[in-house]
Structure 1
Amino acid sequence: MIVLLLFLAHLIADFWLQTDQMVKDKLKYLKKHLLHHLLVSGIALAIIWAYQFEFKHIIHYFILPLSFIIITHLLIDLLKIKLIDFVKSTRADNMKQLVFFLADQALHAAIILLSCILFFQISFADMTASLIELSGTSSLHPVNTVLFIIIIYILATSVSGHIVKYIVGSLPSEFANFEGELTLRNRMIDVQERNQPNTENSFTGEYHYFTYSSPSRSRGKLIGYIERLLVILLTVIGAYPSIAFIIAAKSIARFKQLDDRNWAEYFLLGTLSSIFLGLVLGLIVQGILM
């Protein structure tokens, strides 16, 4: 419960309570970001302190771990900001930003595990043994099951959304708005043809236009969320062939846009990345809960 609750608190503060503007200018909103972690981690530690230790030893079980988590979080965020300053926001550097993102989350997860070892007497060997015993036994406590499901939900939506965004990069506006190609044919008739209908002096002019629309990012994000959640559900119940219908449905909805090769490659990369993350999370859920 302790590890899951602290990890859930981190995900809530890092992804649910952070706006896009806070992510773009993290240094400017760093105090607000840390306040979110202070409040959410404080609530999580208060629950642990009350439930596990019956309000005993407040310094060791509440104040020290909270201070440790907040201070280390500040140091990790400052390090990430300094590193990102050296990376320009170009498509070629997306993988570097993805590495920074994954390393940042891995460091925060390591800090949470270290906090459990230092302040709550949970050894790494005990964590590993518990995870091995849980695999395929369905013996997870109901409270831990709820926490685990919420964590998987956040990983499948917000966290995976960031990963896919870094993998595919930013789509150029001409591809993002491309709807299809419209061809107009105009039959030009010569003056002589009007007087002599049987002559063949006419010709056809062909004009190509590109049609555009204003895309809704919120709808695309929601589609990605539902897609990964469906993949997780289908993976858990073992309905792997049904995953193909998700890809087919997305392809039909974007049929006209697939005429453009660059957009098609962008679409394929994003879809495969999203499906892959959904499969990985689905296999984790299947191994722990089923």
Structure 2
Amino acid sequence: MIVFALQLLIAHVIGDFVCQPNAWVLDKIAKGHKSRYLYIHLAVHIVALAVLLQMDYWPVLLIIGGSHGLIDVAKLRLMNHVNHRWLFVWDQLAHLTVIAATVLAYYPVQINWTEVYSTHLLLLVLALLMLTSVVSVVMKQVMSRWSLDEDDATDSLAEAGKYIGILERLFVFGFIILDQWQAIGLLIAAKSVFRFSDLSRAKDRKLTEYILIGTLLSFGLSIVIGLAYQYAGAYWMK
């Protein structure tokens, strides 16, 4: 089952990413289903599947190839009506859903709901929600007591600080789980290098202090959540 799933995923990656030049994408967007590159693109998928599956599973070639063509045509028709980022996400989810359904059709599996709702997995979900959503709100509330005159929302990407914070907290959490504490120090150092220009042009200590408070608070909460996850997991696994 795992080998079969990997073969389908590799074929998808080869067809959708490795062997699809940007010129093909632009031509498909301009001409829609009339673009010859749409059919070349589908042929690449089918050839990759045939090679990886070693000419076995002929129905899979028809299922994956046919569904891929329908999904791509639907994507092209929606191109001017749906945000392109969301369209890309839904397009990939549709392809992966077909792949998953194909794998399950050939290799049915029974879902062990006891494992799905296990204490360890629920703790992980809670920790990830805390790191992404809860801490973001906490950070916003704490940092809102200070305002900097030089702050201008037009000078930065929309909500960039929020997403940078989420990513750094996820990295810290991952490093704690992997017991790689030295990597957290490297992450702090890397962030300091990137923010050096902000600190060097500050007229006073306000910006420096603001950045330090935000960084230390974000890293501190990440470490607390990471350690709490580890200790809680170890306690319930006894």
Instruction: Give the TM-score, by structure 2 length.
Output: 0.48
> Could you say which structure has the higher helix fraction?
2
More strand by share: 1
The structure number with the bigger radius of gyration is 1
The TM-score normalised by the length of structure 1 is 0.40
